[in-house]
Amino acid sequence: MPARFAPESEISVPVHVIEETKLAQWCAGLPPQQAKWLTTTGFKAALGEYRLLAAPDGGLAGVVAGLGTVAKRRRGRFHLAAVAAALPAGVYHLVTDLTGDALNEQALGWLLSSYRFDRYRAQAVADVRLKAPAGVDAARLEIIAAGEVLTRDLINTPAADMGPEALEDAMFRLGAQHGAAVSAVRGDDLLAQNFPMIHAVGRAAAQPPRLLELRWGKAGPRLTLVGKGVCFDTGGLDIKPPASMGLMKKDMGGAATVLGLAHMIMALKLPLQLRVLIPAVENSVGSNAFRPQDILTSRKGVTVEINNTDAEGRLVLADALALATEEETDLIVSMATLTGAARVAVGPDIAPYYSDVAVFVDQLERAAAQVADPVWRMPFHDPYEAMIEPGIADLDNAPSGTFAGSITAALFLRRFVGTAPYAHFDIYGWQPSAAPARPKGGVGQGARALLQALPGVLKL
């Protein structure tokens, strides 16, 4: 079901959004029976708490939704989505003092509360629709929700149905939807066209590796998005233990996120030139798999010693980033489910990023706060450069030891972009337990913050 607002012409039920500190004052204006009902049932207007109000004829007169306190709201996002998910089917409208970014957040959360991944099992969900609140850009929020749904669906689909071929199909469908040009380099053609590391990582899989490219827009600043498309990661010959392999269908979460963001950019018709590059591979075990201690020569000519075949994402991204720098661009952004070290550092809910572009950092930090899409800046720490230099080759894909794993991976990628304006996101792409507007499963991270930041970064 597409996430859309209900038409303004439909009859709707009011949802009164009340903060804890304003509950007593608000209740004083209610009919006595309704005020007594709230008191009798112990309603405190806590976050996510709600009560249905009955009309004299037994119908639904309204809903009271608690908004808690400002301090408690900081501990989460999309609070009204929890209420929306519990309401009976119908059309609703908000009665609230919320405005601006806070209102946009709750309206978007309501749209996303209806998301279910139902490709393999029908899942009942009540048709709980919201009229677009006054003051929000309804069309924009619907586009953002559609981009997030695309990302979630791609990540949630298991590798049997979301291998390199299916990821390519998804990119071609997105291109056709928006009139973008899409192309692919597949299999041994990767060697002929000088993408040796993409080929090496994916050559042992049943489906050939490939580099996917989308181009859209004829004028304006040039933005290049690069997404890690490892559709499944066994770890290669350095095979993962079962506990670590269980979520590896999400290892193409970077690709899924940039495709969701690309949809938002194209549907909103932002005045820029967009390029999306996705190395799509499966890191498998086979007689022709790349090996520990192999030395690969990248597209850029930089040699890489393989000290762990499970550190494959940076290899495929390196060739794609090298391609991205071969023509002028105003900003390159890579997104990848790259390291477990990033999760240890900031947990699953925050998207850590790396960039030394001052205007990008400034605009992204502001944007993330505005749209409730949390990010955290990590350092390109130059003294750690020596950690990725093995001596026998230019670079080491997996430095020994357990320190600074996310930072050394980011430094590795930076070697392939040179002086181009660059930002890298080391995302998780997965919601480990259900939260308002975010059921357990695949989730976008950083895309909404990037979308909000782009006008300021690229001077659109």
- Spatial CA neighbour of 383 closest among 403, 358, 362: 403
- Average pLDDT of the residues in 138-166: 98
User: Which residue among the candidates 314, 343, 415, 438 is catalytic per the annotation?
Assistant: 314
- Average pLDDT of the residues in 112-140: 94
Contact 406, 338 (CB under 8 A): yes
- Spatial CA neighbour of 312 closest among 229, 377, 207: 229
- Average pLDDT of the residues in 194-218: 98
pLDDT tier at 283, thresholds 50, 70, 90: very high
- Average pLDDT of the residues in 201-222: 98
314 an active-site residue? Answer: yes
pLDDT of residue 187: 98
In degrees and rounded to multiples of 5, residue 406 shows phi and psi of: -70, -40
Stated as kind and residue range, the H or E segment containing 17 is strand 13-18
Q: Is the pLDDT of residue 162 over 60?
A: yes
Task: For the chain, list the domains and their CATH numbers.
Answer: 13-126 (3.40.220.10), 143-458 (3.40.630.10)
Q: Is the pLDDT of residue 125 over 60?
A: yes
For helices 138-156 and 447-458, what crossing angle results, to 10°? 130
Q: Per-residue pLDDT tens for 230-279?
A: 999 999 999 999 999 999 999 999 999 999 999 999 999 999 999 999 99
Q: Per-residue pLDDT tens for 87-98?
A: 999 999 999 999
**Mean per-residue pLDDT of the chain:** 96
Contact 5, 130 (CB under 8 A): yes
- Average pLDDT of the residues in 297-316: 98
pLDDT of residue 123: 87
Q: Is the pLDDT of residue 2 over 70?
A: no
pLDDT of residue 401: 86
pLDDT of residue 126: 82
pLDDT of residue 56: 87
Q: Which of 58 and 296 is assigned the larger pLDDT?
A: 296
d(CA 450, CA 460): 13
Question: How far, CA to CA in Å, does 248 sit from each of 229, 251, 338?
Answer: 11, 5, 11
pLDDT tier at 402, thresholds 50, 70, 90: confident
Contact 220, 240 (CB under 8 A): no
- Spatial CA neighbour of 455 closest among 254, 255, 264: 264
pLDDT of residue 39: 95
Residues 6+ apart with CB under 8 A from 322: 298, 299, 300, 416
In degrees and rounded to multiples of 5, residue 436 shows phi and psi of: -50, 125
Helix (H, G, I), strand (E, B) or coil at 410: helix
Which pair of tokens denotes residue 139? 């069309």
Q: How many helices (H) and strands (E) are present in the chain, helices listed first?
A: 16, 19
Q: Is the pLDDT of residue 1 over 60?
A: no
pLDDT of residue 398: 95
User: Which residue among the candidates 4, 72, 240, 366 is catalytic per the annotation?
Assistant: 240
Contact 250, 337 (CB under 8 A): yes
Q: Is the pLDDT of residue 340 over 90?
A: yes
240 an active-site residue? Answer: yes
Q: Is the pLDDT of residue 14 over 80?
A: yes
Residues 6+ apart with CB under 8 A from 439: 115, 116, 117, 431
- Average pLDDT of the residues in 140-149: 98
CB atoms under 10 Å from CB of 163, counted, come to 20
Type of residue found at 121: R
Stated as kind and residue range, the H or E segment containing 375 is strand 375-378
Contact 18, 65 (CB under 8 A): yes
First to last CA, the chain: 33
Q: Is the pLDDT of residue 40 over 90?
A: yes
Q: Per-residue pLDDT tens for 57-88?
A: 989 999 999 999 999 999 999 999 999 999 99
